[in-house]
Structure 1
Amino acid sequence: MIKNIAFGAFLLVSGFISAQMTAMSGAEAKAFVTKVSSETQEIKTLQSDFTQTKKMDFLDKNIVTYGKMSLKTPNMLSWKYTKPYQYSIVFKDNKIFINDQGKKSSVDAKSKTFEKINKLIVGSSNGKMFSDPEFTVSYYKNGNSNVARFTPKSAQLLKYIKQIELHFPKNQSTVSQVNMTEASGDTTNIVFKNTKINAAIAASEFSL
């Protein structure tokens, strides 16, 4: 169960869209992508607390977990769950390192689905996710946020992910919320808060 929850975190996302959300015009989408791509070029590190809510069809209650995400460019990413259990996943050197409450393991991430998701998350800190060849991207807006929706192109990725949404608050170029719909229909919502940009991150955050 814990592994399924953690896997959902990297497949990232919840699929419903509010009634107020509308598609951006071509000019609006171009301006949004240009702004985010430009402003995120200066990001070297990013840290944030997160709350993850997982909804699964066979469970009556949502699964809510809490933790901390740390990112260091160009390709280091750490997710550390702290409540209600301890579970860590680190992406580094094309490998996935896992610490499941003291039980450690690693997986070769090269050319795997996790590697695609890792690229997308890291890309959200530098604007490169908009040009990821694995996804078709469409753009939306509502009163509070700009939203980039990613739909996988490959049949392999579509086995796991139906769509991913990254939410950017108006006048902000970092992601505040990630929503995922899996192929099964299960959804994952991750909300970030207390985000710190370019603060020093201890090397221990990327080790288990």
Structure 2
Amino acid sequence: MRNVLFLIVLFSHVSLLIAQESNMDNAEIVRFKSMINETSKATTTIQSNFTQYKHLDFLSNDIITEGKMAFKAPNMVKWEYLKPFEYSVIFKDDKLLINDSGTKSNVDLGNSALFKKLNELIINSVKGNLFQDSDFSMDYYKSPNYYKVIFIPKDEKIKGYIASFILLFDKKNADVLEVKMIEPSKDFTRIVFTDRLINKPLDNEVFTN
């Protein structure tokens, strides 16, 4: 009897969570996209803490890492992992700069149209500006606390790396709260942003390896 009651409570809780999300109508989508575009155009820098959850199907628990993210328009992004290890990745001028606990390396992304596109997707996901109908099919949802958009790439090469993006947006200011990148294998990376600072001074030296 206790197990039956537990299942009833669990099912009710899950049903409530699902019910909190609903589809946006066309007018809501137009207003939402306009708000995102205005926010994106006005954003010159972003600084934020983040927690990353890497889900691999063969592991019982997600791999959790913490760090800081920095973005500076038009195309510089730094992911600095601090816990449980130190590692940084910088996307800058078609270059990928890696610092693995003092071991540095550079990768030229400009020679690969695919990786150049992936870099663009990463930058736009940080800004929340992925709304190119030619590149994605999109589904729009709303809840009391956030907007959610599921982006499915149309490019077959991109699909080989990323099956879909899921972005959660703050309903008040259109900031990106979470980014989830789902791989074709169904493994995924979920990044949760906290303590975001928008348009605060950010020196270019931050983006050096």
User: TM-score, structure 1 length as denominator?
Assistant: 0.85
Q: 8 Å contact 1:43–1:125 — kept in the other structure?
A: no
- Unaligned segments of structure 1, at least 5 residues: 1-16
Match in the other structure for 2:93: 93
Contact 2:128 2:167 in 1 (8 A): no
2:83 alignment partner in structure 1: 83
Letter in 1 for 2:157: Q
1:135 offset after TM fit, Å? 2.1
Structure 2 letter corresponding to 1:177: E
Separation of aligned partners in 1, 2:84 and 2:129: 33
Q: Does 71-80 or 122-131 show the bigger shift? A: 122-131
The percent of aligned pairs where both chains have the same amino acid is 41
SS in 2 for 1:199: coil
Matched to 2:153, the amino acid is: P
| Residues in 1 aligned to 2:124 and 2:198: alpha-carbon distance in whole angstroms | 15
User: Where do 4+ consecutive residues of structure 1 move more than 3 Å?
Assistant: 111-114, 124-128
Q: For 1:37 and 1:96, how far apart are their aligned partners in 2?
A: 27
SS of match in other structure, 1:149? strand
- Map 1:47-126 onto structure 2 (within 5 A): 47-110=47-110, 111-124=112-125
- Highest Rg: 1 or 2? 2
* In structure 2, distance between residues paired with 1:39 and 1:21: 23
In structure 1, the residue corresponding to 2:41 is in which secondary structure? helix
Return the offset for 1:95: 1.2
Give the aligned partner of residue 132 of structure 2: 131
2:5 alignment counterpart: none
1:40–1:125 Cα contact (<8 Å) kept:
no
2:35 matched residue in structure 1: 35
- Residue type of the partner of 2:142? K
Does the alignment pair 1:140 with 2:141? yes
Offset of 1:34 from its aligned partner? Answer: 0.5
Q: Is the 8 A contact 1:87 1:101 kept in 2?
A: yes
Unmatched tracts of structure 2, length 5 or more: 1-16
2:125–2:179 Cα contact (<8 Å) kept: no
Deviations 1:156-198 (A, max 9, x none): 1111111111110111221011112111111211110110011
AA at the equivalent of 2:172: N
Q: Which residue of 2 aligns with 1:10?
A: none
Q: Partner letter of residue 63 of structure 2?
A: I
Quote how far apart the aligned CAs of 1:132 are.
6.4
Which residue matches 2:185? 184
| Structure 2: distance between partners of 1:145 and 1:22 | 11
Cα separation, 1, equivalents of 2:25 and 2:98: 42
> 3-state DSSP class of the match of 1:35?
helix
CA contact (8 A) 2:77 2:90 kept: yes
| 3-state DSSP of counterpart to 1:36 | helix
Q: 1:175 is matched with which residue?
A: 176
Deviation for aligned residue 1:138: 2.1
Higher mean C-alpha displacement, 107-116 vs 56-65 = 107-116
Moved more, 129-138 or 50-59: 129-138
Equivalenced residues, count = 192
How big is the shift at 1:112?
A: 4.5
Contact 1:54 1:63 in 2 (8 A): yes
RMSD: 1.9
2:200 is aligned with 1:199: yes
TM-score of the superposed pair, with normalisation by structure 2: 0.84
- CA apart distance, 1:122: 2.7
Residues 119-175 of structure 1: CA deviation (Å, up to 9, x unaligned): 234335666421264322221111211112110111111111111111101112210
